[in-house]
Amino acid sequence: MQTVLSNNIYCPLCCNGNLADYHCDKHRYYLQCEQCLLVSVPQQFHLSSSAEKQVYDQHQNSPHDMGYREFLAKLATPLIARLSNKSRGLDFGSGPGPTLSIMLEDQGHSMKVYDVYYAKDETVLGQSYDFITSTEVVEHLANPKLELERLWSLIEPGGYLGLMTKLVADKKSFSSWHYKNDPTHIAFFSKDTFNYLAQQWGATVEYFGNDVIIFQK
């Protein structure tokens, strides 16, 4: 693949202009920011919104799928252990079959949902919350700086931001990583990247398994 990258590429998380080649396969380039270590796919390789939605429409997630509930429990269980009774939450990027919000409501919390394709109610982004969840979302964000800072601003002091995304380990495992092959995945975070964010935000961050991240404000 020939280099077709423009020179004016900035990290979509920290705006740093120093990005190094990280990997390239037959479809795309992957660059790593030297400051926050986010691995990102340059915009020229991003899908259009309609092509992206076609991929999401194929996701058959539903609250009746016990396997999917088990998957979400990896975040829900440690998060619920930290929440006060009757907390107010938002699930950002709830997808075509909201499930995590139902699991949290079952525990007595009140939930709003937002999804750019399936639940585009902007008013929920003008309220504040005790916690926000976002599962399998951040890897799809073209502008993670804007979206994550917006979510963070909606969280009350002492509140939580719970994320699920598979973490980058190192260059060698990245090269054979199935997670990078999904054409809608354009931003890949590591613990180093989330530690950078926590430092920027003055937050604490905890990790559970290899894909659950909980920030406290």
Using rule CB under 5 A, residue 39 touches Zn ion: no
Using rule CB under 5 A, residue 54 touches Zn ion: no
| Residue 114 Cα distances to 51, 80, 105, 157, 191, angstroms | 20, 20, 15, 21, 26
Kindly state the smallest distance separating residue 13's Cβ from Zn ion, in Å.
Answer: 5
Kindly state the smallest distance separating residue 199's Cβ from Zn ion, in Å.
Answer: 13
Sign of CA pseudo-dihedral 70, 72, 74, 80: negative
- Contact letters for Zn ion, residues 3-32 (x by CB under 5 A): --------x-xx-x----------------
Closest to Zn ion by CB, 36 vs 119, is 36
Kindly state the smallest distance separating residue 168's Cβ from Zn ion, in Å.
Answer: 13
Using rule CB under 5 A, residue 33 touches Zn ion: yes
Beta strand segments in the chain, E: 19-24, 29-33, 39-40, 88-92, 110-114, 129-135, 155-164, 187-188, 204-208, 212-216
Kindly state the smallest distance separating residue 33's Cβ from Zn ion, in Å.
Answer: 3
Q: Which residues bind Zn ion (CB under 5 A)?
A: 11, 13-14, 16, 33, 35-36, 38
